[in-house]
Structure 1
Amino acid sequence: LCGGVNGRANPKELIFSGITIYTDKDFTRAKEYFEKACRLNDADGCAILREAYSKVILKGNARESIEKALEHTATAKACKSDDAEKCKDLAEFYFNANDLKNALEYYSKSCKLNNVEGCMLSATFYNDMIKGLKKDKKDLEYYSKACELNYGDGCAILGDIYHNGEGVTQNFKKAFKYYSKACELNNGEGCSKLGGDYFLGESVTQDLKKAFGYYSKACELNEALTCTLVGEFYRDGEGVTKDLKKAFEYSAKACELNDAKGCYALAAFYNEGKGVAKDEKQTTENLKRV
């Protein structure tokens, strides 16, 4: 096949030959073809070879090892046919083999094919995962694509980037825009940040009622700190009618979600007997959680 392993050959033909030979159960000869393909700088050949030299092969289970390699080759073929999920799987294969360059290449391709997870993972490579890799706003590009694909976390992160001026000119209006979309997509962090904008009057006119509304939605989405804040709104009667019972309930939820400030507020309610019957034991128990 292909003029023998030592003859001139296309790397892909070598891989095909290796697979064919393995089908005949001659693993030693098959490995020679994979080695040749790898020496010709073929990424798939190297990946198959790397799998062949895995711990599995050292344990003597060559069949299981090569079957994994063949599965990888099938995944690579599907990716070349623009299967976004398979491109992401291929990226994970390279990432687990510590081949970050190829991992990024395939995560990026999966993102271009509208795989949200591929977009988010591509962005992480530009956040110091690979030393010396210049950002060049690439992380912004990938988070933007994730947001366009209606992934709330991507929109919330974009909001943070513009709010904090991370690699871009600080822009509260753009931050507000992305936080708004994140919240619409039921992202708790996005709703929390919107609540903060209205509470502080950043990029929008200060509005405690709207702040309360967004904090409430964030709490429904289990953002712990916002449950504490909603409890404070009810306790102090800010933006809403004062209601100590509801203040207690929101503080209790915050504490359940492991917010220390919420547990402290809950202990105070039990200690003072406001919104709930006075209870020294509960006061002590909740203070332990602070």
Structure 2
Amino acid sequence: MAYDLKKESDVKEYIDKLGVEYRFGCYSEKKPEACHLLGDYLEGIKKDFEKASKVYKSTCDDYGYAKSCYKYGNYSFLGKGKSGGKGEPRVAYEYYEKGCNLNDSDACLHSGLLLVSRSMPKEIDRNVPKGLEFLTKSCDMNNATACFYLSGMHISGVQKKPEDTAASSSGGSVISGVNSTTTASKTPKESEYIVLKDMKKAFQFAHKACELRNMYACANLSQMYARGDGIEKNEKEAERYKKLALEMQEEIKKQQETLGFQQGVGMPN
């Protein structure tokens, strides 16, 4: 049957049919892909986060479907779909790690960030070496954000005692870019670092992240070329990556404006 998606009645019928197909594929045919799509349907169309959470969890537990592990990790971290809405960081980490072991790059990114960050919940024990492994795996799978964070970690280095410097977390140095500086009163020894400062590695990770369309990595790359940090100084390349970062920024701005317009128009119930 052909649907006229300009007609509200046809849109409603089409959406309802999708739900039936996903339920049949999940519960009758036992297809994990259909179960995950059912979770997405319950989340995005029906806004039934409690049921979506249960579907993602069972699809991860019963079928080892990596994307569902990642989604249930998100739900657990935010407390989404749960009475009271209280997050469970420890449970979230377990599902992120499971998703990472099943080769989902976003799950690797989030499990890595939970382990390396100083600002994450106390339920998570900081483990920078293990977190670095997860982030590296994510970057190897072409996750731009993971590559970006790895670049930042090598720009500032990561100390064994994070309170020794304001720039020791992976997030702090990354967001503020190459210009970030350490506020410690004395220069730490190499033995005090878990991850050594290494501008060559920082450049390599930033370059990959930029090629994968991470705007902030491109901005950092521009500064690295301008200063000769981790790469030979090259004003032409610095200007090229600066222009690329600005173009990406403009693209994101236009996308946000379009999304805001679409939300304002509204969709039929």
Letter in 2 for 1:146: G
Total equivalences in the alignment? 198
Counterparts of 2:212 and 2:105 in 1: how far apart (Å)? Answer: 12
Is contact 1:84–1:109 with CA below 8 Å preserved after alignment?
no
TM-score, with length taken from structure 2: 0.65
Counterparts of 2:214 and 2:65 in 1: how far apart (Å)? Answer: 26
Question: RCO (CA 8 Å, sep 6+): is it higher in 1 or 2?
Answer: 2
**Paired residue for 1:42?**
none
Q: Report deviation, 1:255.
A: 1.0
Letter in 1 for 2:108: C
**Paired residue for 2:212?**
221
Does 2:54 align with 1:105?
yes
Structure 2 vs 1, CA of residues 200 and 208 (structure 1 numbering), >3 Å: closer, same or farther?
A: same
Q: Report deviation, 1:82.
A: 2.5
Is contact 2:136–2:146 with CA below 8 Å preserved after alignment?
yes
Does 2:33 align with 1:85?
yes
User: Map of 1:1-290 to 2, 5 A cutoff?
Assistant: 72=19, 75-80=22-27, 81-95=29-43, 96-112=45-61, 113-126=63-76, 127-130=78-81, 131-133=84-86, 135=88, 137-164=90-117, 165-166=120-121, 167-202=123-158, 203-258=194-249
Q: Report deviation, 1:140.
A: 1.2
SS of aligned partner of 1:137: helix
Structure 2 vs 1, CA of residues 233 and 74 (structure 1 numbering), >3 Å: closer, same or farther?
A: closer
Q: Report deviation, 1:172.
A: 1.6
Counterparts of 2:40 and 2:195 in 1: how far apart (Å)? Answer: 42
Q: Report deviation, 1:91.
A: 2.8
Max Rg structure: 1
Is contact 2:112–2:132 with CA below 8 Å preserved after alignment?
yes
Ranges in structure 2 where 5+ consecutive residues have no aligned partner: 1-7, 159-193, 251-269
Structure 2 vs 1, CA of residues 77 and 247 (structure 1 numbering), >3 Å: closer, same or farther?
A: closer
Q: Report deviation, 1:181.
A: 0.6
Q: Report deviation, 1:74.
A: 5.8
Structure 2 vs 1, CA of residues 89 and 201 (structure 1 numbering), >3 Å: closer, same or farther?
A: closer
Structure 2 vs 1, CA of residues 200 and 78 (structure 1 numbering), >3 Å: closer, same or farther?
A: same
Counterparts of 2:141 and 2:236 in 1: how far apart (Å)? Answer: 30
Counterparts of 1:114 and 1:103 in 2: how far apart (Å)? Answer: 17
Counterparts of 2:96 and 2:104 in 1: how far apart (Å)? Answer: 9
Q: Alpha-carbon deviations, 1:42-84, whole Å to 9, x = none?
A: xxxxxxxxxxxxxx9xx8x9xx86x987875564344234211
Q: Report deviation, 1:142.
A: 2.0
Alignment RMSD, CA only? 2.7
Counterparts of 2:124 and 2:218 in 1: how far apart (Å)? Answer: 32
Q: Alpha-carbon deviations, 1:127-151, whole Å to 9, x = none?
A: 1323345516221122122212222
Structure 2 vs 1, CA of residues 232 and 99 (structure 1 numbering), >3 Å: closer, same or farther?
A: closer
**Paired residue for 1:24?**
none
Q: Report deviation, 1:249.
A: 0.8
Letter in 1 for 2:90: K
Letter in 2 for 1:200: S
Counterparts of 2:18 and 2:236 in 1: how far apart (Å)? Answer: 59
Letter in 2 for 1:214: F
Structure 2 vs 1, CA of residues 135 and 191 (structure 1 numbering), >3 Å: closer, same or farther?
A: same
Counterparts of 1:156 and 1:234 in 2: how far apart (Å)? Answer: 27
Counterparts of 1:70 and 1:197 in 2: how far apart (Å)? Answer: 48
